[in-house]
Amino acid sequence: MLTPGFTPAPQGRTTLQIINAPRGATFVWCTNNMAYVRALARHLGRTDLVLVGKAGLVTTLRSSRVPIVVDHALWLTTEERRMLADLNSKT
């Protein structure tokens, strides 16, 4: 389904991450401004993804029971990386 007036970067890294994300995964966006990533996910037909801004990362890491995909542009602390690795090894 195409979103009128929306043009994503052609096969950009975020686009590929969203396309390749496991069904029903949580996608953590690199900012708290969610407009672009919502439009991109909708444009790519990935309405199954739960989209979270960077402010929700730690809460998501502590409570999620599904795979988490973190946008390539989001800088993670060492502790956040450890939490993400632990969680994704269990899902």
Overall pTM surpassing 0.75 (yes/no): yes
Establish if 86 belongs to a structural domain: yes
Q: What is the pLDDT of residue 8?
A: 63
Q: Which residues of the chain have pLDDT under 70?
A: 1-10, 91
Tell the burial category of 26 from Cβ atoms under 10 Å away from its Cβ (0-12, 13-18, 19+). Answer: buried
Q: What is the pLDDT of residue 14?
A: 95
Q: What is the pLDDT of residue 3?
A: 60
Establish if 47 belongs to a structural domain: no
Query: Domain residues for 60?
Result: 53-91
Establish if 72 belongs to a structural domain: yes
Q: What is the pLDDT of residue 87?
A: 85
Distance of CA 17 to CAs 11, 79, 84, Å? 10, 22, 16
Structural domain total, the chain: 1
